[in-house]
Structure 1
């Protein structure tokens, strides 16, 4: 098996809110948009972000764990400079991100901040000057 991710699928409680955030707010272009069912957005050369209505997600995949705290996943978007981190976080806030944590220097040498989408999934916006960060630019 190749080391590759083709789709990231997130269950969404409100597909219309997700569409307003990602498409209208952030300006991402849908590859597939089926109202009331699924929204798919190309997020890389061979990567699709799939936002799927919770009920249909659970029918196929199984019950969603619910409760306090954050979903145990982050999605990361790496950029080339610290200034780009701040700019992307500002764009997310303007798009209606319900929570934004400003960029800050990290102990490992990078600069990152976070925002949440309408379902609370956390996006890390990162400037990673190390070798692993450079392979994803």
Structure 2
């Protein structure tokens, strides 16, 4: 049986120093495994890593056709504990240069949500879900 877990998410970075700086401005600390050519941030659920896109291509044996001006067909989420945190988180992201794609609003499913893009157009949702359950580390275990 394949273990049912996602433990590491890697974003192929077109400009690693710039993208690293953006996530550092969140107040996120890097792990000891970070180096000049790699950044890793421990989050409540998974490790978010940034790796130069050309190195990711070599490692995976593929070629990417998108550039950093295009949006990628995947989104990441930061789930918060209270509806008002969606608004305050988006304001903090706006202040550090994140591109706000969808302002905070109440969602049809009963929560509150907003979207932003990082400097390389990776999509992020900031969401409050009234039915979300988190473990003791802050990782979402159900919703």
TM-score normalised per structure 2: 0.84
> What are the Cα deviations for residues 53-87 of structure 1, in whole angstroms up to 9, with x where unaligned?
01101111111131675211110111121110011
Which residue in the other structure is 2:30 paired with? 30
Whole-angstrom distance in 2 between the partners of 1:27 and 1:69: 26
Q: Which protein has the bigger helix share?
A: 1
Q: Could you list the runs of 5+ residues in structure 2 that have no partner in the other structure?
A: 135-139
Secondary structure of 1:20's aligned partner = helix
TM-score normalised per structure 1: 0.87
Give the conservation status (yes or no) of the 8 Å contact 2:102–2:114: yes
Whole-angstrom distance in 1 between the partners of 2:99 and 2:90: 12
Residues paired across the two proteins, number: 132
Whole-angstrom distance in 2 between the partners of 1:44 and 1:80: 13
Which residue in the other structure is 2:98 paired with? 97
Superposed CA RMSD: 1.8
Q: What pairs with 1:1-137 in structure 2 (closer than 5 Å)?
A: 1-23=2-24, 25-31=25-31, 32-35=33-36, 37-44=37-44, 47-61=46-60, 62-66=62-66, 69-130=70-131, 133-135=132-134, 136=140
Whole-angstrom distance in 2 between the partners of 1:117 and 1:69: 12
Q: Could you list the runs of 5+ residues in structure 1 that have no partner in the other structure?
A: none
